[in-house]
Amino acid sequence: MGGDDGDVRNLNIDSRLIDYLIEKGIENLHPPQIEAIAPALSGRNLLLATPTASGKSLVAYLAILNRLRTAGEGARAFYIVPLKALASEKVDDLRELCSKVDMTVGLAVGDREGETGSIDDADIVVCTSEKLDSLLRNRPTFAEKVEIVVADEFHLIDEPSRGPTLEVLLARLRHLRPEAQRIALSATVGNPKELAAWMEADLVESDWRPVTLQYGTLTGLELDIHRAVGPNEDIELPESRTLKGSVSKITDAILEDTISIDGQILLFVSTRASAEKEARELGKRRLKTLNRLATNESKEEISKLEILATSLTRGDDATSLTDRLATAIRGGVAFHHAGLTSRQRSQIETAFKDGLLKALCATPTLAAGVNLPARRVIIRDWKRWNGGRYADLSVMEIQQMQGRAGRPQYDDSGEAWVMAKTESDRDKIIDTYIFGFPE
């Protein structure tokens, strides 16, 4: 199928797609992509289990477009995602690609606001597993001409809340269209061979990352980096150091330290209320710092943040939640959780990608969803309230968060710090979340 050397010019795909990739600066595939592209383009079932930002989606996109190109009139693809926020991101990606080859993309996520394009006529339907499940129950013929099915964030098949729907859905699709190609994209999982066998698929797994990821712990203000994984084998670990600041305001110290290297942070906490509280407090204190600096740059930053805060509190979206959001945003911080409208979410994500917002406080859902990497990921809460007690988060969930550190186009390395209150917590984090394997 070509592409064995990684050069996209040698791929056996539509030449318009090759031109598009080169125009986007993608001339060579990453090592995991090289391994996966041959089975993907030859129509084989595939489980691709690699870290965040290693380029899984591109393999799936090219497989879809190649399969539909050769399958003939009326052929269709399903691209299944776990979250609505992720669905709109994939639709944007696919529409850009499809515009080069005269194909169409529809969105089916179960809310009117999100439905765009007629799914009946679309060549590719991006959908949540719940929405596709209900579509197939009501209209089994909807799967008649499906030639390829992609399941993104496939590791969630082991999650109690989302997993069963996805498992039943994939089994139903296999029954309805046994000849359709199946591709699953997954983070690094503990049981890849088992999952590949269940799918009757080739397995490509790798821990290769395009950007070096440093795994650390922060105990009080003491930072230790314990491990680093990246494109090169020999990576020297930085020495331990103490952040400047107060032990009573650790997140302020982290934010100031990160801004000093022109970086941003993603701060993960366990609940929506915590995300809002942390964002408001961080934002208020950061605004005081900006006012105190009183430079032309800080005045311009305050002015831009005020414009963003005002635009988010206007119109139909204005609620007490937007007032809380605006308070945080005036200091260059925002919270991000499922309670936001899609317009608010989109504005916040754009402002973060553009570097205007310096910190996002989020619940773990963000790690499984949107592609919003940051120079530093800070995991404040690694326990959650569950069935009347605090329980540790799974290794898989923590690794999803850690994997968001490091922006492939901008950073040489990313850092993921898990916060510890005590030495024994620190030791547990190192054993479980830094050197441990997913369940």
| Alpha-carbon dihedral 427, 433, 438, 439, rounded to 10 degrees | 50
Domain assignments of the chain as residue spans, ordered by start: 8-205, 212-434
CA distance 276 to 151: 32
Mean pLDDT score, 10-25: 95
Q: Determine the number of helices (DSSP H) and then strands (DSSP E) in the chain.
A: 15, 17
pLDDT at 392: 94
Domains 8-205 and 212-434 are alike in CATH topology: yes
Nearest CA-CA partner of 334 in 374, 293, 298, 392: 374
Q: Is 2 left (phi over 0), alpha (psi -120 to 50) or beta?
A: left
- pLDDT tens digits, 69-85: 999 889 999 999 988 87
CB 208 within 8 A of CB 51: yes
pLDDT for 207: 86
Q: Provide the 3-class DSSP secondary structure of residue 230.
A: coil
- pLDDT: which is higher, 280 or 396: 280
CB 245 within 8 A of CB 221: yes
> Which CATH superfamily is 8-205 part of?
P-loop containing nucleotide triphosphate hydrolases (3.40.50.300)
Residue 356 one-letter amino acid: L
Contacts of 387-396 spanning 24+ positions with Cβ under 8 A: 392/432, 393/364, 394/438, 394/439, 395/190, 395/432, 395/433, 395/436, 395/437, 395/438, 395/439, 396/155, 396/158, 396/187, 396/189, 396/190, 396/438, 396/439
Per-residue pLDDT of 381-433, as tens digits, reads 999 888 889 999 999 889 989 989 998 878 889 999 999 999 999 999 999 99
**Phi, psi dihedrals of residue 336, rounded to the nearest 5°:** -140, 110
**pLDDT surpassing 60 at residue 57:** yes
The CATH code that applies to domain 212-434 is 3.40.50.300
**Between 315 and 106, the higher pLDDT residue:** 106
Which pLDDT value is given to residue 410? 82
pLDDT, tens digit (0-9, with 9 covering 90-100), for 203-228: 999 988 889 999 999 999 999 999 99
Query: Could you tell me if 183 and 112 are in contact, meaning their C-beta atoms sit under 8 angstroms apart?
Result: no
CA distance 246 to 253: 7
Of residues 268 and 110, more confidently modeled: 268
Residue 210, Cβ neighbours under 10 Å: how many?
Answer: 18
The CA-atom distances, in angstroms, between 195 and each of 132, 184, 201, 252 are: 21, 10, 9, 42
Residue 178, Cβ neighbours under 10 Å: how many?
9
Q: Which residue do the tokens 């061979």 mark?
A: 193
Q: What is the mean pLDDT of the chain?
A: 91
Question: CB within 8 A of 215, min separation 6: which ones?
Answer: 225, 226, 227, 228, 229, 402, 416, 434
Task: Give me the pLDDT at residue 226, please.
Answer: 97
- What's the N-to-C CA distance of the chain in angstroms? 35
Residue 271: pLDDT band with limits 50, 70, 90: very high
